[in-house]
Amino acid sequence: MPKPVVETDQTKKEQQKRLSSRETRDVLEDISTKTKRGLRLKDLNEKVAVLL
């Protein structure tokens, strides 16, 4: 028979840190993606301005 899982305060804190870290990484990746997209749009706008 498996032992019941007992969560300690330390375990909960570690899980929260990992979750927080994962959420932070996701947000930073989203910001990075949007920044790259914005820079590409800016570059395209500059090229269009040169053509006009």
Per-residue pLDDT reduced to its tens digit, 27-52: 999 999 999 999 999 999 999 999 88
pLDDT at 17 over 90: no
Closest by CA to 27, choosing from 38, 15, 19, is 19
Top pLDDT among 4 and 31 is at 31
Residue 3's φ and ψ, nearest 5 degrees, are -75, 140
Top pLDDT among 29 and 11 is at 29
**20 burial via Cβ count (<10 Å: 0-12, 13-18, 19+):** exposed
Is the pTM for the entire model greater than 0.75?
no
- The CA distance from 11 to 34, in Å, is 35
